[in-house]
Chain A
Amino acid sequence: MEAIVALNKVVKDYPLGKLTVQALRGVDLTIAPGEFTVIAGPSGSGKTTLLNMIGCVDVPTTGSVTIAGRETGKLKDRARAKLRLEKLGFIFQTFNLIPVLSAAQNVEFPLLLHGRLGTRERQRRVAELLEAVGLAEQARQRPNELSGGQRQRVAIARALVTEPAIVLADEPTANLDSVTGLAIIDLMKEMNARRNTTFIFSTHDEHVMAHARRMVHIADGKLAEDRALAPPAATAEAPEPGATP
């Protein structure tokens, strides 16, 4: 199966005053469709930068990032926005719901940007997803009326509503208590299983890591470790030969 995410010798430099900080120092990584991958690593290891590369919100200094067959560094801003809209779903550490919209409207928002579906189809999908994340009752509430876990559920629904190929989650459980955090991971796993959506998320929580099927460990801007955690068949082809220590 062709990789949905392919990183080839990705280097990312950030100017910091007169110095240049190298956040990524030549990362090679491929992820197949339907994987449930965790990117782990300490703070400052470059894991968020790596996620940004995959999420098309940033482009590499050198090397290439190919998402769903398109090399992001060669796309214009507008085309990258389109790529994000169509192929990617985002779940943020701070939830990042639009405060002025209700839960249902937040979920509907990407569909409106998408602009391909009629009102009825949009409403059907929104209702279905809110039902799936267990928030059918809270559809009309604003984000500030919801708890942290509920907000993140809305965010998951929002990330999935466009039926993206990949869902990216940057520390999705960092702002949640451990019980809620595990419930969110369960939900993500369930969605992964039901829809065969590729999930890539970062965390440094050991309990959360244990739920992943593949763990990519980043240290000092390099791939330190890449291994399958559980025996599912899907992970067999995943490890990059050269990346395994």
Chain B
Amino acid sequence: MRGLARLRILFRMAWRNLFNHKAKNTVVGLLMAFGAFLVVVGTSTLASIESAMTRSVTGSVAGHLQVYSDQARDQLALFGGGFMGASDVGTLPDFSQVKTTLLAVDNVKAVVPMGIDVAEFYTQTELDHAIESLRKALDAEDDARVARMEHKIRSMATLMAEEFGNRRKIMRTKAEIDEQLAGIRRATEDAFWQELRRDPVAGVTFLDTKLAPLVDENEGYGMQYIGTDLDAFVKSFDRFELVQGTLVPSGQRGMLVNQHFYDNSLRNRVARMFDRLRKQLHEKGKTLAGDPLLQNTVKRMVRQYRRITFQLEPEEAETLERDLKALLPEVKGNLDALVQAFLDVNDANFDARYAFFQEKIVPHIELYLFDIGDVITIRSYTRSGYPKSVNLKVYGTFTFHGLEESVLAGAHNLMDIMTFRDLYGVMTDEKRAELAEIKAEVGLADVKAENAEDALFGEASDVAATPVATTSTFDELAELKKAAKQGDAAAVERFTQDDIDHGLALNVAVLLKDPSRLEETWGALYGAIGRAKLGLQVVDWRIATGMVGQFVSLAGVVLYVALIIIFIVAIFIMNNTMVMATIERATEIGTMRAIGSRRLFILGLFFCETVILGAVAGVVGGLAGYGFMAHLGNVGIPAPSDELIFLFSGPRLFPTVDSGQVLVALALIVVISVVATLFPAWVATRIQPIVAMQAKE
């Protein structure tokens, strides 16, 4: 009872003292409130990013856990870590074994085999299109159209002759380029075209095999893909969404292109730049006049004028020239000059030009490098070092929900795992020895591409055992394309689930029934792998994601370090102000000591003051943080960069905040205030009662 009375007076004195030293306590209180605010905002933002990332990463490519060879030289980095294609994550020679072992573990819902790689792909060029049109015109005996296509191909060939002529000047050995130039020049001569009308097949074949491949060399595009069990992938990853076209039918080869990659890497550059400018001008409120970067985009767009002119049929070119002359009467010159002038947009004419572009130009050009349903040629260098090409039908485009805008997530295209295995190649010790032997024998540089495979593997190369994945060389490329155009690609051998399972994979995504038991399952997987002696390692999705995934951990470290620094500074400031205040209050403390207070009472008084201040500041700061985050949870935090789109799992992060975080902040602040009070309180207890006697007013 009496102890309670003493406690009450202690509390009352502490409370009133707080109001008696307003300046000091306001500073200290604000500091602590800010700390509490930061704790709430920081921890809830991190937790929100983590949960957003968990959803998008586990639901798109990674799954909850990833399994790969423990012989891997590099860490698995699904969303980029090392350099493109440079990482070596080892191989899983027989996926079926892994599958059986992993699926037997409790809480494992699904396992999806994967292999990530990069390759170049080739597609029809403008010249291919022209030759195709010519072929059709010849078939239809449409002389006028043949004449128009002749004009077009000859003018392209003339440009090529010019370019190859320039190239010749810098070549040391001229033989090869002379041969190529001869071919190009032939296509510009009247004699060739008269001959072509007499023997269309020979003529078109000449164009297809001698002229078209010369353009191909410059038209390879890089592409990253995941070879996987497509059915299992689509079923297992809930963020997968088909955008255009269809899924690849079960048991067939084919690929699905990422919509982001399709729109940003495969789209006509002029169209893409127009859209990018429009976005910057209309959505971000920038102006061309005020932004040098956008001005630069315009300059680059002007230089891309051939992306339009090369694609136009002669009559389309005439129409466009007429329309452009009406739009730009002051411009003198041919279509090229007109298009360049047209593309040189400014703030005043942008909207009109954009509309003109959409209306008069877009319908006449190929907007994408290839269309959904097209067959593309993919060429990669296999692990054994030889080039390998396959033709593959693009069935559709897809995206990962929430990651539509992310470049990181948008880089992954999907491919059936059979084709992946062909492109990857399998390097056995036997073949490696053989390769080394041949290298030593002939010298690597001397192995001509067209001889390389025969020399290496002989006629019956078992690496390229599947019929459709035609082993090809540079010169065969044209043949391949022709075959593809004629629909040969559809004559794909079917494969079964057994074929998918009994073969190579690089890594395996493991999806769990109950993700909250991840840690436990992680251990169980290691147990099962160890018993089966599979030589695998298991990583969780954060690690498997690569640098971006680890960014969350890094951000956590940065946040905590920042908080620790802020708190250390706060402790110092509080410590100082309170020591000063203690000295100011020496008489009062001395008096209390003189009339019989024990040191413990003085100590209690100080801690009581601090704890009250800390609690008030903690509640105020914590609630402010809660309110702030709740507000952000409604409006969202816009992602300023692509990496953040990925982390946020969308263009905006809608953070969540819970009362637990406020309580943590409150507790932390109170503890910190007590720590900051230790020294001043000790100083206070050292004040002698005699001080009271010496006080002079």
Contact = CB atoms under 8 A, between A and B. Distances in A.
5 contacts: A57-B688, A78-B599, A92-B695, A96-B695, A105-B9
Nearest to A105: B9
B594 A84 contact: yes
Nearest to A87: B596
A98 B597 contact: no
Contacts of B598: 78, 81, 113
Given A82-B596, A98-B13, A99-B588, A57 B5 contact: no
B467 interface: no
Contacts of B588: 96, 98-99
Given A96-B594, A108-B9, A118-B2, 15 more contacts: A52-B693, A57-B593, A78-B599, A81-B597, A84-B596, A90-B591, A92-B591, A97-B591, A98-B588, A105-B9, A110-B596, A112-B5, A113-B597, A116-B2, A170-B693
A51 B689 contact: no
B3 interface: yes
Contacts of B689: 55, 57, 81, 84
A112 B9 contact: yes
A98 B696 contact: no
A216 to B, nearest CB: 18
Contact of B594 (A77, A78, A90): A90
B170 interface: no
| Most chain B CB within a 10 A radius of its CB, from A88, A90, A96, A118 | A96
A194 to B, nearest CB: 21
Contact of B591 (A48, A77, A98, A108): A98
Contacts of B690: 52, 57-58
Given A90-B594, A96-B588, A99-B588, A57 B692 contact: yes
Contacts of A119: 1, 5
Nearest to B691: A57
B551 interface: no
Contact of A113 (B20, B596, B692, B694): B596
B381 interface: no
Nearest to A119: B5
Interface string A65-95: 0000000000001100110111011101110
A225 to B, nearest CB: 23
Contacts of A191: none
Contacts of B599: 77-78, 81
A207 interface: no
Contacts of B594: 55, 57, 84, 90, 96
Contacts of B597: 81, 113
A58 B593 CA distance: 12
Interface in A150-182: 158-159, 162, 170, 175
Contacts of B587: 94, 96
A175 B9 CA distance: 29
Shortest Cβ-Cβ A-B pairs, 3 listed:
A85-B596, A100-B16, A57-B689
B6 A115 contact: yes
Given A98-B591, A112-B6, A92 B596 contact: no
A114 interface: yes
A86 B597 CA distance: 11
What bracket does the count of chain A residues touching chain B fall in?
35 or more
B8 to A, nearest CB: 9
Nearest to A85: B596
B692 A90 contact: yes
B596 A100 contact: no
A202 B1 CA distance: 39
A169 B690 CA distance: 13
B550 interface: no
Contacts of A105: 9, 12
A101 B693 CA distance: 20
Contacts of A48: 693-694
A51 B596 contact: no
A77 B692 CA distance: 16
A158 B592 CA distance: 12
B5 A93 contact: no
A86 B596 contact: yes
A151 to B, nearest CB: 11
Interface string A100-142: 1100010011101111111100100000000000000000000
B601 interface: yes
A85 to B, nearest CB: 3
Interface in B673-697: 688-690, 692-697
Interface string B561-604: 00000000000000000000000000110111111111101000
Contacts of A118: 1-2
A173 B592 CA distance: 21
A218 to B, nearest CB: 15
B71 interface: no
B595 A109 contact: yes
B17 interface: yes
B227 to A, nearest CB: 76
Contacts of A52: 690, 693
Nearest to B2: A115
B596 A94 contact: no
A124 to B, nearest CB: 15
A100 B697 contact: no
Contacts of A159: 595
Contacts of B9: 101, 105, 108-109, 112
Interface in B15-71: 16-17, 20
B596 A96 contact: no
Contacts of A175: 697
Contacts of B1: 118-119
Most buried by A among B12, B688, B696, B697: B697
Which of A57, A78, A115, A162: most chain B Cβ within 10 A?
A: A57
Contact of B693 (A55, A77, A109): A55
B525 to A, nearest CB: 63
A78 B600 CA distance: 10
A86 B598 CA distance: 13
A39 B156 CA distance: 121
A92 B688 CA distance: 15
Contacts of A122: 5
A81 B596 contact: yes
B696 to A, nearest CB: 7
A94 B695 contact: yes
A93 B696 contact: yes
A199 to B, nearest CB: 16
